[in-house]
Amino acid sequence: MLTPNMNYSHLKASYLFYNIAQKVKAYQAANPDAHILRLGIGDVSLPLCDAVIKGLHKAADDQANASTFNGYMPECGAPFLRKSIADYYRGRGVELGDDEVFVSSGASDELGDILDIFDSSNRSLIIEPAYPAYVDANIMAGREIVHLPSSRDNGFLPLPDEDISAELIYLCSPNNPTGAVFSKEQLKVWVDWANEHGSVILFDAAYEAFIEEEGMPHSIFEIEGARTCAIEICSLSKTAGFTGTRLGYTVIPKDLVRNGMNFNDMWVRNRTTKTNGVSYIIQRAACEVFTPEGQQQIHENINVYKNNARTLMKALDKLGIWYTGGKNAPYIWMECPNGMGSWEFFDKLLNEAQIVGTPGEGFGKCGEGYLRFSTFGSPEDTEKAAEKLLELLG
């Protein structure tokens, strides 16, 4: 008799965004003229930059001629894009081989798929509050999860200690939802710990392009020793507005070996079996992101979001409210005022200021008492929200 993957029965229903949508819908129905300021969304709002759009058009034309047409693309990524990405790393002083870069359709896909190359008995350590996909992908795969709560006391950037025991370690920096970023010194502690224990770090760098502070690490491979204990998963979704265009990349160093098995070789075997590569048109367009023109244009867009962050941070500073993030990330993680719970504060913001945030509790129990603001909205709405926050809480 067929048996479903019963691990799915252990998934908790995700009420977070559903509940938010329901509450917003009800408020809008009762207040049809109200303009709701949406600071909850994790999706970008600005269009693709010119360089990428030109790349898309040109690549579409290539597909119209037999002499430039491309059929199946190499499963691990087109050589031209693998080289562009490796060059991007080299430009920051990280030496990588082009064949250590794998092109993907996005970070979410990879964060779950990569579990294929680790034994199912391996436990996954997840720092909470966390991007919900880490937890769910591990539950679906029937893996044991070791939860590591973080708090204001450690700036939501916990370090390993004697009590921790896990084979896979998820690190997300800059972090979603907290916006906090590990320093090089802190990452070095994780890298040394992983090498000492034979563990592997899955480093989610989806927001690296938002780091503005000099000296903060954009990649785990800036840390000595990471080549023997880390895999990096990244995405153009937030960096270049590719949420609907889809392109990511994964770096697996050839030095990452356990029990005589080379994880780079294993991933080549996995990809050549389970995918037929990413579309030529999208890979060509993605290449434009890494050109000087593309870099300048994507950073113009990122700056719009960073200005939104500055606007919100200024208001929170004036109010004397504790928060993390904003400086090197598109998220601000604020403590709810007067000891309010996450949902209580969410309701207050919606009902009294028409602002929508994301209750921190939705990212794990230790997120209770916090709220996440996204800075991906429009500057006009963000400025209005900052004014209303000052009126409401000042």
Ligand X SMILES: Cc1ncc(COP(=O)(O)O)c(C=O)c1O
User: In what helix (H) or strand (E) does residue 220 lie, and over which residues does it extend?
Assistant: none
Does 115 belong to an annotated binding site? no
State the binding string over 220-239 for ligand X (x if CB under 6 A, else -): ---------------x-x--
Does 328 engage in binding with ligand X (CB under 6 A)? no
Does 364 engage in binding with ligand X (CB under 6 A)? no
Smallest CA-to-CA distance from 208 within 247, 189, 228, 182 is with 182
**CA pair distance 239, 348, nearest whole angstrom:** 32
C-alpha of 123 from chain center: 21
Q: Which is nearer to ligand X, 206 or 298 (CB)?
A: 206
C-alpha of 291 from chain center: 22
Segment interacting with ligand X, rule: CB under 6 A, options 73-81, 100-108, 120-128, 162-170:
100-108
Q: Which of 113, 128, 167, 204 binds ligand X (CB under 6 A)?
A: 204
Does 131 engage in binding with ligand X (CB under 6 A)? yes
**CA pair distance 66, 79, nearest whole angstrom:** 20
Does 331 engage in binding with ligand X (CB under 6 A)? no
Residue tagged 């954009």 (tokens): 218
Does 113 engage in binding with ligand X (CB under 6 A)? no
Q: Which of 40, 55, 77, 106 binds ligand X (CB under 6 A)?
A: 106
Does 172 engage in binding with ligand X (CB under 6 A)? yes
Q: Which of 243, 275, 291, 307 binds ligand X (CB under 6 A)?
A: 243
Q: Which is nearer to ligand X, 127 or 353 (CB)?
A: 127
Does 173 engage in binding with ligand X (CB under 6 A)? no
Segment interacting with ligand X, rule: CB under 6 A, options 101-109, 181-189, 260-268, 296-304:
101-109
Collapse the DSSP code of 125 into the 3-class scheme (helix H, G, I; strand E, B; otherwise coil) and give the result. Answer: strand
Does 134 belong to an annotated binding site? no
Residue count, binding to ligand X (CB under 6 A) = 13
- Taking every pair of Cα atoms in the chain, the longest distance, rounded to a whole number of angstroms, is 67
Give the number of other CB atoms < 10 A from CB of residue 117. Answer: 17
Contact 351, 27 (CB under 8 A): yes
- The residues binding ligand X (CB under 6 A) are 42, 106-108, 131, 172, 176, 204, 206, 235, 237, 243, 248
